Amino acid sequence: MANILVTGGAGYVGSVCCRRLLELGHSVTIVDDLSTGHADAVPSGAKFYRFSIDDRSHLSALVQSQRFDAVFHFAAKALIPESVTNPGAFFDANVRSGISMLETIRAAGIRRFVYSSSAAVYGTPERTPITETHPKEPVNAYGESKLMLERALEWYARAYGWGVASFRYFNASGAADGAGEAHDPETHLIPLALQASMGLREYLEIYGADYPTPDGTCVRDYVHVLDIADAHVRVFDRLQEGVAAAYNIGTGTGHTVREICSAIERVTGRKVPVRVGPRRPGDPAVLCASPKKIMEELGWNPTHSSLENIIASACQWQESMLASEGYQTQAGGQCAS
């Protein structure tokens, strides 16, 4: 069994992946500064250290104190609208801090690295579904910062013999193991639409209904967080010295914003009130993955990623969180099991 260092392991995807690693018998050490993560998301059985990945003193002491077999890197700033208006913060957190971390772990002799990247590296697609060889032309600083660290990792693999896998997520969603989407502020469609259906917000704002899509709203490929975690554990034993590989994590099927709202209404029995607003800067019309490479090379399949399962799990998690805080949701409807 392996000893794995996980950055951002108190976050949404990172915490689910940590639980999966622990279930398989691996040792897990989490580094997270809790700027966006949550202490209560740290799974039982994992060691936890609260500091930033660019804190070289603390990180160096940790990685020099024991032998780590690999690093799984989830820590990042990830709010796309903010990256458009405040790009410097994203290059600082995702690139500068990332390189600082890479140099620290390189000094400790760690050479296997799994990176949580993003479909935002592609920008506005020339064709869909998007393959890994598609041109990379990000339309926001978040995507650019993710791509910059991907490219740095390619050089680390070439120069230092690292084995690297970069996973380009297409809309992580759903809930598992007590972990769901809890961003502050919340900007992701499914939790926002669920909140509107529960009466926790007056309406869901749709950012643009004039895109060249079937109903004018943006199309996205939604993949369950459990399937993302599965990809990470599958790739660990397949990392090759001197090779930086990139994989899309998606289903190959896209859904419009209005289709998501309709699915939530079917699953929950509650209406999703909407209001159409202007387009949001940095939003491509369509982002839909080709998952062919990860299926062929890692034997991966999105077994948990039906839209109904994604929505039902997210709804159940949302309602359990609200109940624990004493909130009452809008009467009527329920989450499908």
- Tell me: pLDDT of 337 over 70: no
| Average pLDDT of the segment spanning 20-48 | 96
Angle at 123 between CA 117 and CA 126, to 5 degrees: 125
| Average pLDDT of the segment spanning 110-114 | 98
**C-alpha R_g of the chain:** 19
CB-hemisphere CA count at 13 Å for 233? Answer: 22
- Tell me: pLDDT of 50 over 70: yes
Which of 327, 302, 21, 37 is closest to 174 using CA atoms? Answer: 302
Contacts of 132-140 with CB under 8 Å at 24 or more apart are 132/168, 132/246, 132/247, 132/248, 132/290, 132/293, 139/282, 139/284, 140/80, 140/83, 140/84, 140/281, 140/282
Contact 136, 187 (CB under 8 A): no
In the prediction, which pLDDT does 182 show? 77
In the prediction, which pLDDT does 79 show? 86
Which of 178, 177, 76 is closest to 118 using CA atoms? Answer: 76
Of the chain, the end-to-end C-alpha distance in Å amounts to 34
Q: How confident is the model at residue 254 (pLDDT cuts 50, 70, 90)?
A: very high
In the prediction, which pLDDT does 329 show? 57
Is position 142 annotated as part of the catalytic site? yes
Q: How confident is the model at residue 323 (pLDDT cuts 50, 70, 90)?
A: confident
> Per the structure block, which two tokens stand in for 279?
């387009």
CA distance 270 to 233: 37
* Residue 285 one-letter amino acid: A
CB atoms within 10 A of CB 44: 6
Burial of 308 (0-12, 13-18, 19+ CB in 10 A): exposed
> Per the structure block, which two tokens stand in for 236?
């660990």
Contact 206, 275 (CB under 8 A): yes
- Tell me: pLDDT of 303 over 70: yes
CA distance 319 to 329: 8
- Note the CATH architecture for domain 3-173+223-249: 3-Layer(aba) Sandwich (3.40)
pLDDT tens digit string along 199-239? 999 999 999 999 999 999 999 999 999 999 999 999 999 99
CA distance 262 to 285: 19
- Over the chain, what is the mean pLDDT? 94
Contacts of 28-32 with CB under 8 Å at 24 or more apart are 28/4, 29/3, 29/4, 29/5, 29/62, 29/68, 30/6, 31/5, 31/6, 31/7, 31/59, 31/62, 31/75, 32/7, 32/8, 32/75
| Average pLDDT of the segment spanning 277-291 | 88
Of 122, 142, 211, 222, which one is the catalytic site residue?
142
Which of 41, 73, 29, 4 is closest to 176 using CA atoms? Answer: 41
In the prediction, which pLDDT does 164 show? 98
pLDDT tens digit string along 114-167? 999 999 999 989 999 999 999 999 999 999 999 999 999 999 999 999 999 999
Percent of the chain with pLDDT over 70: 96
In the prediction, which pLDDT does 328 show? 60
In the prediction, which pLDDT does 334 show? 66
Distance of CA 337 to the CA centre of its chain: 24
- Tell me: pLDDT of 325 over 90: no
Q: How confident is the model at residue 187 (pLDDT cuts 50, 70, 90)?
A: confident
CA distance 115 to 72: 6
CA dihedral sign of residues 56, 62, 68, 71: negative
Residue 163: phi and psi, rounded to 5, are -105, 120
> Per the structure block, which two tokens stand in for 313?
């799990």
pLDDT tens digit string along 51-72? 999 999 999 999 999 999 999 9
CB atoms within 10 A of CB 184: 8
Least confident window among 43-52, 274-283, 305-314: 274-283
Which of 219, 205, 234, 213 is closest to 307 using CA atoms? Answer: 219
| Average pLDDT of the segment spanning 67-92 | 95
Q: How confident is the model at residue 88 (pLDDT cuts 50, 70, 90)?
A: very high
